[in-house]
Chain A
Amino acid sequence: MPAARRRRAGATAGLQTSRLVTAHIWVAIAAFAVACLLGVWQMWARSPLTAPYHTAANYFRSVTLHGVSMAFVLTTFFIMGFGYYVAETALKRPLPGLGLAWGAFWLGIVGTLMAALSVISGDASVLYTFYPPLTATPWFYIGLVLVVVASWIWCLIMIFAMRWWRADNPGKPVPLVMFASVANAVMWLWTTLGVAAELLFQVIPAAFGWNGMVDVGLSRTLFSWTLHAIVYFWLFPSYIAFYTMFPRAAGGRLYSDTMGRLAFILFLLYSLPVGLHHLMMDPEHSNGFKFLQVFLTALVSVPTLLTIFTITASAEIAGRMRGGKGLFGWIGALPWDRPMVLATGLAFFMLFWGGGGGLINMSYGMNAMVHNTSWVTAHFHLIFGGTVVIMYQAICYSIWPSLTGRNFADQRPLRVQLWLWFIGMMVMTLPWHWLGLQGQWRRVAAFDYSNPLIHSWGPWVIVSLVGGIVLAFSALLFVYNLAMLHRRGIAGAPAAIEYAQAVHPPERVPSSLNGFGLWNILVALLMLLAYGWPIAQFFVYPPPQAVVHRLG
């Protein structure tokens, strides 16, 4: 790349997208920090200790803001920023449509502010799930739609960046990191169709008062279309880091490039036709379709196990290259002092527990016992915090030097932050799972600790609260670490990062593993068969509808 093209006025380093990426990720981090502090207060409010400002209205307002910030703002802005970064650094050429990307950024900001102000006003305390007949002020939904539209623009930029690169490099394999990022963009376009249909045709008209009645079965089904795949949208950057950043950080190579491509393709295929497993207690769907989607859900374990195998093998290669001997000696030989290596190790450990909890949730019979208990909340916090957020943090530590042109002077605060996040997450979520097994219900603002049964939960809720405080402290340290790099880092960091190379770098890959045409057809087939009748039935046999219940 010519030096003149790489240098942009105002950019702190040689990357053309550095301002764009840092803007996106700082917005994500700001939402994350606010949400962490709210989370601690929520834990406090649910504990036997008396929390200030504790009313049911404040609690649900806080939960809504916490959920929206974590699930929509942190993730969407981080993934967009990281995607732009990958597009420039992996393809080693300028991002197409930089102006459009900035437009999408500001659209997302406007949408975020609309949603945030709606929640703060108290007219949108509907949590971050869209389950009518309860509807918030329409501005809440319109704000979130703007965020989604911004992410659609991101998807198109990513897809065209890859297509145009491929047209200029016929026959060459798209770098794995870019292939995976575009897989996420393609999946996100499919994912958002469900919630977009729900919002545009049901929820927003109801929130404006144009519809007095709403078919809640249909809206729950459309939301379920989005509900599982959105989790994989959040998770993708973590897997991208496992495959393309961790092996290099560990000082080795990726065991197999093809395994990586297959894993990302399988996530694209099997994240989508599985959402009915969120509706196993809902009466409007038949057992056959519930079973079919649970069966397909089980297939998500294939790419997960592929990943665990490939990344463990990559780690072993690195450990042995560093002189590790024997059956397990290579584990100790890994450079655990490097944030990316440490975070991957901790994430794998937490993924083991979170994944186990998830297997219980997706099993029809066991789900019946934990349904709508704190078990579910604990599960998704462990997966989200334990695999998604900790890897986002590690990714930030890896890419921040190339964005700011400065290196971390001391890696210790980074390691302390990651360890605190790990400890906090385990201390918070394990007792929380236990409380779910005791029957503690979720989505309530307070518990009546004068009831003897509930009284016995008290100590465990306090333990969870302690975990939450540790997490909040870690979150603030994370913000501090990144902010300080802008000012106090050691100048001279290179303007790009190198991604992990495979043991056998791919020279030629089948077109199927270099694009998404075939996979889009298969996704369409799976969705048609898994969701066709479950959605069509609401139009063939229209069920009774529910009266819309508006807030604000």
Chain B
Amino acid sequence: MAKAPRKRPLKPRDESPAGAPPEQAAIDRPWRIGAAAIVAAGLAAGALIGFVIIPAGQKENAHLSMGHAMARSAGLEAGSPAVPQPVSTATAIPVSTVSWDPAIMNVLASGNTARGAAIAAQTCAACHGDKGLSQSFGPGPVFPSLAGQSPYAIYKQLHDFRSGARVNPQMTAVSQMLQVQDLAAVAAYYSAASKEYAAIGARELLGDAEIEKLANEGDSHRRLPACLACHVNNSGGPIETPVITGQIEAYLVTQLNAFAGGTRTNDVYGRMRDVSKKLTPAERAALARYFQGTL
């Protein structure tokens, strides 16, 4: 391999910036001054228009003084134009008010705590089982399985029951007895206690090719996303999405019909209402059967 040419010591800085002979410094000087002046002038012109002239033109309509208008244009003061917005008269639609802030995220990530275990034993286990494996397959009252769900999924529903975004005679009462921190603790408990069921989706699923395609690929012509694009843990979908493989068929079909009929409305952005309405009643039933699978 050929060697790189030997480096010669560079000339002292004051002679010329580019190792050029001193006589070239003379032709370089006007270039340096000129270039710096032109660049500075361009910058000044842009700044003058952006930070002074445009705010001066806009201040009147926004009812701002020149000082505030300039400070806003420079990002030193925040806020939208000072015209008050009319108060909305629309009636509130009950939709989830859950929010994922660091305090709740930390409780949910803390897993199995004594507090969560105590609440679960007192209030939840009777219907949902010790580890969240429900044994109610209908007919009669149906309790969903909590096993294998993420703490976010369980917490989201508990929070919605508590706020009234989702309504169920038993769950509304239970969740309103508890504090928000308790809901998070019990959600974290159930998720951690049923970790061994996280692979519950490995069970054999039952469905014809068309239903399997809906679950795995969706239907782009109806703009139906694949169920499994979101409904598995760590799918990349919304964090609160529950796992549905292994869930009780009667529960799933009831929920799909409730979304389609508009009696359940706590899905953020109406995603499940949209999806459920596009599914035919037969498809809803078949998907519920498919996802329960064979035990």
Q: Which residues of A contact B (CB under 8 A)?
A: 5, 8, 16, 45, 54-57, 93-99, 125, 134, 163-168, 170-171, 212-213, 269, 285-292, 295-296, 299, 445-451, 508, 510-515, 517-519, 522, 525-526, 529, 533-534, 537, 541, 547, 549-552
Contacts and interface: CB of A to CB of B under 8 A. Distances in A.
Given A54-B217, A448-B221, A288 B74 contact: yes
Given A288-B51, A510-B24, A547 B105 contact: yes
Interface string B39-71: 110110111011100110000000000000010
Contacts of B76: 286
Contacts of B24: 171, 508, 510-511
Contact of A288 (B21, B50, B223): B50
Given A170-B20, A295-B50, A525-B39, A98 B74 contact: no
A517 B39 contact: no
B18 A166 contact: yes
B2 A16 contact: yes
A508 B11 CA distance: 18
B36 interface: yes
A59 B105 CA distance: 31
A515 B17 contact: yes
9 contacts: A93-B5, A166-B19, A288-B51, A288-B73, A292-B43, A295-B50, A448-B221, A547-B100, A547-B105
A288 B75 contact: yes
Contacts of A519: 35
B91 interface: no
A534 B218 CA distance: 42
Given A286-B74, A289-B50, 17 more contacts: A8-B1, A45-B220, A54-B220, A94-B3, A125-B236, A163-B19, A168-B5, A213-B102, A288-B55, A289-B75, A295-B46, A449-B221, A450-B223, A511-B17, A511-B28, A513-B31, A515-B17
Given A5-B2, A450-B221, A57 B229 contact: yes
Given A288-B74, A289-B50, A534-B75, A170 B43 contact: no
B21 A98 contact: no
Contacts of A212: 102, 105
Contacts of B21: 170-171
Nearest to B26: A510
A456 to B, nearest CB: 16
B226 interface: yes
Contact of B32 (A446, A518, A533, A547): A518
A368 B18 CA distance: 46
B92 interface: no
Contact of A55 (B20, B100, B216, B223): B216
A510 B19 contact: no
B5 A522 contact: no
A57 to B, nearest CB: 6
Interface string B2-21: 11110110110000111111
A286 B75 contact: yes
Contacts of B25: 511
B236 A551 contact: yes
B73 A515 contact: no
